[in-house]
Amino acid sequence: MKRMLSGIKPTGQMHLGNYIGALRNFVNYQDDYQLFVFIANLHCVTVYQQPAQLRKNLKDAIALYLACGLDPDKCTIFLQSDVFAHAQLGWLLTCQSYMGELSRMTQFKEKSQKKEDGITAGIFTYPCLMAADILLYDADIVPVGQDQKQHVELARNLAERFNNRYSDTFIVPEPVSPKVGSRIMSLSDPSKKMSKSDETNKGCIYLLDDLNVARKKITSAVTDMVGKVNYDKINQPGISNLLEILSALTNESIDSIVNRYQDKGYGQLKGEVADAVCQCLATIQDKYHQIVDSDIIESTLKKGAEVANKIAYKKLKKVQKKMGIDIF
Ligand code: ATP
Ligand code: LTN
């Protein structure tokens, strides 16, 4: 069985983009792959996080993983910081990476060009930690949204570089993105991706949003003046985004939805999207409330850390031996 691994960085509340682009797919994969999913809490702190809020976001993220259908008996769910080997291999891979290649990472460039105060060194080197997350587990496949593909590319390059220098050690991982929904856009500005760092809060649907609030965000979504439902990401990005959301949640193809809307308007489309989203959120929220205050979260993480630590420790030892760091 091939191994698949992915991580999620809950620096805020989880949203519909995370669900469609990542979470929902993990649930489908858990029967066909040996699946590892982890909460990337070491990645969260590349930017200051208020401690109580971070703790809540982490706990919510695990509860939402489980609520969305991840089953701890079928896959390994763990907290990154419970496995010390991540930080350690992260450092060793930082020492295999070049300043030039890290400076070319789009996410780093975007963040540093904003000229915000306090761009941490962690933001610069975090792709090396991400490479360690992946390479420790010999992951064959890494499901990520479009925005993370470049980081998986770096993990591939580092694996090849290490294998060439020290002999075969790492599996070279493949990134995969879902065909529909790998980049859900903001409802208030469809030129940007739906993101938890949305300042207006209108463009992003959170999985724990009140259903009326979620419906309102969809009915207020920015569209265009064309007046006809087409899937045309360039000229009708807002409508195309709504079509993608609907298709992802109902499994109806975009072509088929567009056909049904030959003689119907935007209002009807928004209504149908809102129904699909609210139905999805209601199911998730119902399960979330059953899980969040139970001891399932703790027992899941304990079991996950045991399994992950065994695999990660073995790989780290192998790396250190090859590099000449370990003496015995
Ligand atoms: P954000 O911009 O909200 O901070 P992120 O990509 O930085 O999101 P995560 O919460 O770790 O951080 O994202 C988890 C997964 O969800 C990743 O695989 C990411 O590519 C995917 N994802 C995030 N936003 C979207 C989106 N708008 N559409 C599709 N997939 C997304
Ligand atoms: N960097 C990712 C989260 C992440 C991840 C990973 C994804 C950390 N480590 C390993 C896949 C594999 C993000 O910001 N979304």
Of 6, 18, 148, 233, which is best to mutate to test ligand 1, by the most ligand atoms within 8 angstroms of its C-beta? 18
Sheet containing 34-39: give its strands across.
Answer: 76-79, 34-39, 3-8, 141-143, 174-176
Q: Identify the segments of the chain with pLDDT beneath 70.
A: 115
Residue 111 appears among annotated catalytic residues: yes
pLDDT of residue 196: 84
* Pocket flag, ligand 2, residue 269 (CB < 6 Å): no
In degrees and rounded to multiples of 5, residue 10 shows phi and psi of -80, 75
* Pocket flag, ligand 2, residue 9 (CB < 6 Å): yes
| Half-sphere exposure in the Cβ direction for 295 (13 Å, CA) | 3
- What is the pLDDT of the chain when averaged over all its residues? 95
Instruction: Identify the H or E element spanning 316.
Output: helix 296-323
Atom of ligand 2 nearest to the CA of 143: 11
Given 193, 217, 270, 315, which residue is catalytic? 193
Residue pLDDT, tens place only, 105-124 = 998 888 888 767 788 999 99
Pocket-forming residues, ligand 1, beta carbon under 6 Å: 8-9, 17-18, 20-22, 144-145, 147-148, 181-184, 193-197
* Pocket flag, ligand 2, residue 129 (CB < 6 Å): no
Atom of ligand 2 nearest to the CA of 43: 8
Q: What is the largest CA-CA distance in the chain?
A: 74
Q: Dig out the tokens for 95 from the structure.
A: 């020492």
Residue 196 appears among annotated catalytic residues: yes
* Pocket flag, ligand 2, residue 284 (CB < 6 Å): no
pLDDT of residue 21: 86
Q: How far, in Å, is the centroid of ligand 1 from the Cα of 86?
A: 21
Residue 193 appears among annotated catalytic residues: yes
Of 79, 135, 137, 151, which is best to mutate to test ligand 2, by the most ligand atoms within 8 angstroms of its C-beta? 151
pLDDT of residue 205: 97
pLDDT of residue 181: 78
Give the global pTM: 0.89
CA distance 3 to 15: 26
